[in-house]
């Protein structure tokens, strides 16, 4: 379907046009508000503001080349074996009905394991994730609440909500929508007497994301009331960054951590909270349509860059704001949560600058935090990281183990949460555009080593070099090189630069591609 007018994301325009011409005509979208088939791209339903782009259902994008190899490394490493080696997500997990860890770690693990399993189409990984999902879906309480009964914290359930939306898009399991409907109704009824607090108060936007997702599938207006309630009870991130006062490196004394560490000051300057909050204003803007809400993300990113920016695209948080010195670091959870926030914000706003930052972080901050085989990771990584040791480091509140590569250095949150980084990046390489096109929203790397013959006419962009903080035999090459043209695998679509892409013969065989769009997607 030819586009009527070019999208302002000019950097990606030629790919969008080419992809739309070659794919969408053969695979028409299902864009209805409600559909009995989940292998569809569901758009925002009135009165929500339309997105610029819409993420494709999980499994629509199948990685090949270097990115597939990276996902396979993750599956062969800790990502595919964590439940066998770490009791917090093992058989005694509270999210499997056991008496073990019952807070965020089970949901964190599945939030990355599930997309990894479906992108690799790996039955072993699918079965692992399914155990957690089946226990969750079959143990909903009469009032609609779910999860381990040993706690009623809103926060870990927000993560499992994200898991279930992905799972539904991949499987069409008919249990999911009624389950989510009952839980979110329970939340709407309960929040007035048991409001958001602590982590949930600062992470309300992750909950709102699922409420909006469900509204687009059921049309239940009470879900919009829930989004308003979450916003009113949640921390006001826009106000915080409209008058940003945390412009210096935080200290433990300021944060009063010895007294508990959960004050609003500690939580509002906490790295992971801020990484998650990058999407707060864009998510809220879907409901309000307010231009100020849509613009607020740039004020937040600008403040983070100005006062705490690091050269790998991140802001310092070890684990609270730490200033711009490159010897300060960022927590791995913050890296993957920032990536997810950028992916969601890019979909809502369509600003290519968000895609640029996503790529910068994905190919710099993320891989440096792992060993080559992804069996060990750092809690905290610094751009100017000259040694990984127990020697004293200038971190704000992190412990001495934080940049050691290990199973759960410093604290186990990153052990459970890092899994979402590469899979969700993979899921965000292509998105549906609002006018039924297909947009190349983030670029992957080529197979390694790069084959220059496959990319004869480089062009528009050279990638940044990855972090030098660790050795990565499987990582993208460090030397600058031509950017590989993202391609789609359906016959008839070239991987060549724009001129040849738009003029190539439909019978010309496609060049090797780092990414493929699975047959049947995004069509129903
Ligand atoms: Zn963490």
**HEC profile of 383-397:** CCCCCCCCCCCCCCC
Ligand 1 centroid – CA 197 distance (Å): 20
Ligand 1 centroid – CA 231 distance (Å): 25
Query: What does the pLDDT read at residue 435?
Result: 86
Ligand 1 centroid – CA 342 distance (Å): 18
- The answer to the question of residue 200 being in a domain is yes
- The answer to the question of residue 496 being in a domain is no
Ligand 1 centroid – CA 441 distance (Å): 27
Torsion of CA 252, 194, 94, 417, to 10 degrees: -50
Ligand 1 centroid – CA 253 distance (Å): 22
Q: What pTM does this model have? A: 0.82
Ligand 1 centroid – CA 390 distance (Å): 18
Ligand 1 centroid – CA 373 distance (Å): 19
Ligand 1 centroid – CA 508 distance (Å): 47
Query: What does the pLDDT read at residue 259?
Result: 66
Ligand 1 centroid – CA 329 distance (Å): 12
- The answer to the question of residue 137 being in a domain is yes
- Residue 275 near residue 338 (C-beta atoms within 8 A): yes
Query: What does the pLDDT read at residue 20?
Result: 33
Ligand 1 centroid – CA 338 distance (Å): 12
Ligand 1 centroid – CA 417 distance (Å): 7
Ligand 1 centroid – CA 405 distance (Å): 13
Ligand 1 centroid – CA 365 distance (Å): 14
Ligand 1 centroid – CA 64 distance (Å): 29
Q: Which of these, 219, 205, 130, lies nearest to 175 by C-alpha position?
A: 130
Q: Look up residue 379 and give its DSSP letter.
A: S
Ligand 1 centroid – CA 331 distance (Å): 6
- Residue 316 near residue 330 (C-beta atoms within 8 A): yes
Ligand 1 centroid – CA 412 distance (Å): 7
Residue 429 vs residues 18, 45, 144, 347: alpha-carbon distances, Å? 15, 24, 35, 11
Tell me the residue range of the domain where 167 lies. Answer: 86-234
Q: What is the pLDDT along the chain (524 residues), one digit of tens a residue?
A: 333 343 434 444 433 433 332 222 223 333 222 233 346 789 999 999 999 999 999 999 989 899 999 999 999 999 999 999 999 999 999 999 999 999 999 999 999 999 999 999 999 999 999 999 999 999 999 999 999 999 999 999 999 999 999 999 999 999 999 999 999 999 999 999 999 999 999 999 999 999 999 999 999 999 999 999 999 999 999 999 999 999 999 998 888 776 666 899 999 999 999 999 999 999 999 999 999 999 999 999 999 999 999 999 999 999 999 999 999 999 999 999 999 999 999 999 999 999 999 999 999 999 999 999 999 999 999 999 999 999 988 999 999 999 999 999 999 999 999 999 999 999 999 999 988 889 999 998 643 333 333 323 322 333 333 332 222 223 333 333 333 333 332 222 222 222 222 222 223 323 333 344 443 333 22
- Residue 357 near residue 340 (C-beta atoms within 8 A): no
Ligand 1 centroid – CA 435 distance (Å): 38
- The answer to the question of residue 154 being in a domain is yes
- The answer to the question of residue 295 being in a domain is no
Ligand 1 centroid – CA 187 distance (Å): 27
Query: What does the pLDDT read at residue 177?
Result: 98
**Torsion-angle region of 379 (φ positive above 0: left; ψ -120 to 50: alpha; else: beta):** alpha
| Sequence-ordered list of residues with C-beta below 8 angstroms from that of 84, at least 6 positions apart, any chain | 90
Ligand 1 centroid – CA 498 distance (Å): 41
Ligand 1 centroid – CA 436 distance (Å): 37
- The answer to the question of residue 245 being in a domain is no
- The answer to the question of residue 81 being in a domain is no
- The rounded distance, in Å, linking the Cα atoms of 480 and 233 is 47
Ligand 1 centroid – CA 271 distance (Å): 9
Give me the long-range contacts of 138-143 (CB less than 8 A, separation at least 24): 139/97, 140/179, 140/182, 140/183, 143/186, 143/190
Ligand 1 centroid – CA 337 distance (Å): 10
| Sequence-ordered list of residues with C-beta below 8 angstroms from that of 302, at least 6 positions apart, any chain | none
Tokens describing residue 320? 């609270």
Ligand 1 centroid – CA 275 distance (Å): 11
| Sequence-ordered list of residues with C-beta below 8 angstroms from that of 95, at least 6 positions apart, any chain | 89, 102, 106, 107, 110, 132, 135, 136, 147, 148, 160
Query: What does the pLDDT read at residue 61?
Result: 92
- The answer to the question of residue 107 being in a domain is yes
Q: Structurally, how many domains does the chain consist of? A: 1
Ligand 1 centroid – CA 177 distance (Å): 30
Ligand 1 centroid – CA 429 distance (Å): 25
Ligand 1 centroid – CA 353 distance (Å): 26
């Amino acid at each position: 379907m030819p586009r009527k007018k070019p999208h302002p994301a000019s950097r990606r325009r030629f790919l969008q046009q080419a992809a739309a011409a070659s794919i969408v005509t053969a695979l028409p979208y299902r864009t209805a508000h409600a559909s009995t088939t989940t292998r569809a791209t569901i758009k925002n339903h009135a009165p929500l503001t339309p997105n610029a782009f819409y993420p494709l259902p999980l499994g629509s994008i199948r990685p090949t080349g270097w990115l597939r190899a990276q996902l396979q490394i993750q599956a062969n490493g800790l990502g595919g074996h964590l439940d066998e080696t770490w009791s917090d997500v093992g058989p005694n997990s509270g999210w499997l009905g056991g008496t073990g860890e019952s807070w965020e770690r089970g949901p964190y693990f599945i939030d990355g394991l599930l997309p990894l399993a479906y992108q690799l189409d790996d039955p072993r990984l699918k079965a692992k994730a399914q155990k957690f999902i089946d226990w969750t879906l079959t143990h909903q309480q009469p009032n609609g609440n779910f999860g381990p009964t040993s706690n009623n914290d809103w926060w870990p359930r927000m993560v499992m909500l994200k898991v279930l939306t992905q799972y539904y898009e991949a499987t069409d399991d008919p249990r999911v929508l009624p389950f989510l409907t009952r839980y979110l109704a329970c939340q709407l009824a309960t929040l007035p007497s048991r409001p958001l607090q602590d982590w949930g108060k600062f992470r309300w936007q992750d909950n709102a994301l699922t409420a909006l997702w469900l509204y687009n599938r059921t049309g239940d207006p009470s879900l919009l009331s829930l989004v308003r309630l979450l916003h009113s009870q949640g921390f006001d991130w826009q106000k915080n960054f409209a008058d940003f006062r945390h412009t210096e490196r935080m200290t433990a004394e300021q944060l009063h951590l010895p007294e508990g560490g959960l004050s609003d000051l500690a939580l509002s300057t906490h790295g992971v909270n801020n990484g998650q909050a990058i999407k707060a204003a864009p998510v809220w803007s879907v409901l309000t349509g307010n231009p100020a809400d849509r613009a607020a993300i740039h004020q937040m990113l600008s403040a983070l860059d100005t006062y705490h920016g690091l050269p790998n695209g991140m802001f310092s948080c070890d684990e609270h704001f730490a200033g711009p010195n490159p010897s300060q670091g960022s927590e791995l959870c913050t890296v993957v949560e920032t990536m997810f926030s950028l992916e969601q914000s890019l979909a809502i706003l369509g600003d290519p600058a968000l895609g640029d930052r996503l790529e910068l972080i994905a190919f710099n901050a993320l891989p440096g935090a792992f060993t080559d085989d992804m069996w060990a990771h750092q809690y905290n990584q610094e751009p100017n990281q000259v040694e990984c040791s127990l020697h004293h480091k200038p971190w704000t509140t992190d412990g001495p183990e934080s940049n050691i590569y290990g199973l759960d250095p410093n604290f186990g949150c990153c052990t459970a949460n890092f899994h979402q980084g590469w899979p969700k990046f993979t899921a965000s390489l292509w998105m549906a555009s609002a006018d039924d096109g297909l947009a190349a929203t983030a670029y992957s790397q080529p197979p390694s080593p790069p084959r220059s013959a496959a990319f004869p006419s480089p062009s528009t962009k050279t990638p940044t070099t990855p972090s030098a903080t660790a050795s990565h035999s499987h990582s993208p090459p460090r030397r600058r090189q031509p950017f590989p043209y993202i391609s789609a695998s359906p016959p008839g679509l070239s991987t060549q630069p724009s001129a040849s892409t738009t003029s190539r013969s439909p019978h010309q065989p496609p060049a090797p591609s780092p990414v493929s769009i699975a047959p049947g997607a995004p069509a129903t």
